[in-house]
Amino acid sequence: MIITLREVAKASGVHPSTASRALNDRTRGLVNDEVAARIISEAERLGYRPDTAAAALRSGRSRLVGALVPGIANPVFTPILAGAVAALAREHFALIVADPGRDGGSAFDMVQELAARRVEGLLLATTLGLPDPCIELALARNIPYVLINRGLPGLASVVPDNAMGMGLVLNHLRGLGHRHIGYVSGFAHLVADTVRSECFVDLMRAAGLDADLVEEAHSFDRAGGLAATRALLARAPEMTALVCGNDLIAAGAYDAARERGISVPDRLSIT
């Protein structure tokens, strides 16, 4: 049974408008502390939950943010989405997640659907280049947006320091004595992967090491990692360490090593 605000007010012995103010963080200060505490206690006892749809109609605000994530099973997105949910919850917002898949073919349709739900912001982790119809729609609808894991000039974005990360992993591998190191990227056309690949090549050359052991997985999944690592091992059997674009690619690299009877990490280190 759905408990209404009117029932909470009746149980608390107050007018519904007073109950509404007491149950709203922004207006609770307008209600006597003792009365507010009583109303909150009754609401909890009855199991009251605000009607967010009705509140949205009254205020004209959905308090929803949409996230477009290509490949929600990719573990890289788990902490990102968890952080977004936590941050939004503190401001009484909820997150809607849409997954257009690896190719991103339905990304624009999904952004249109999110816009139709009157989201108040967008987190875009798409892999599209410019012009990006998703960004253009956000601009046309005046929806604030932030790009995730994709930095583009002049656009709001949150990205890791890919150059620093590549430097750290190569320093670690070289410190372990590795000299024949390969790199499996996801998509060569992505800004993040371009930065990583360029840093890999520059740092390997600066160390006087072979910088040609780079292979594109054409995806961020296990199958792509398997195919790319097979290719690298075929042309560079002397390779002793492999840097991977993400954990799923690394899992595919492990599969490729196992196929060849290569022990990990004794014979091949995978990061």
Q: What's the pLDDT score for residue 201?
A: 96
Out of 158, 193, 219, pick the residue that ends a domain: 158
Query: Residues 105, 11: one domain?
Result: no
The CATH number of whichever domain residue 118 belongs to comes to: 3.40.50.2300
Do residues 181 and 242 both lie within one domain?
yes
Looking at 33, 50, 67, which one is the last position of a domain? 50
Q: In which band, very low, low, confident or very high, does the pLDDT at 105 lie, cut at 50, 70 and 90?
A: low
Are residues 93 and 168 located together in one domain of the fold? no
Give the total number of structural domains in the chain.
3
Q: Is the pLDDT of residue 28 over 70?
A: yes
- State the pLDDT confidence band at 51, using cuts at 50, 70 and 90: low
36 and 125 in a single domain? The answer is: no
For residue 50, pLDDT beyond 60: yes
Return mean pLDDT, the chain.
89
Q: Which residue has the tokens 């997985």?
A: 217
Last residue of a domain, one of 133, 158, 183: 158
pTM of structure: 0.71
Tell me the CATH number at 23.
1.10.260
pLDDT at residue 103 is higher than 80:
no
Question: Are 179 and 256 within one domain?
Answer: yes
How high is the pLDDT of residue 71? 79
The residue with greater pLDDT, 242 or 193, is 242
Q: Are residues 203 and 256 in the same domain?
A: yes
Provide the pLDDT for residue 17. 92
- Is residue 120 a contact partner of residue 143, using CB atoms and an 8 Å limit? yes
Is the pLDDT higher at 167 or at 58? 167
For residue 59, pLDDT over 80 is answered with no
Per the structure, the complete domain to which residue 149 belongs is given by 59-158
Answer with the residue of higher pLDDT: 101 or 253. Answer: 253
Residue 153 has pLDDT above 80, yes or no: no
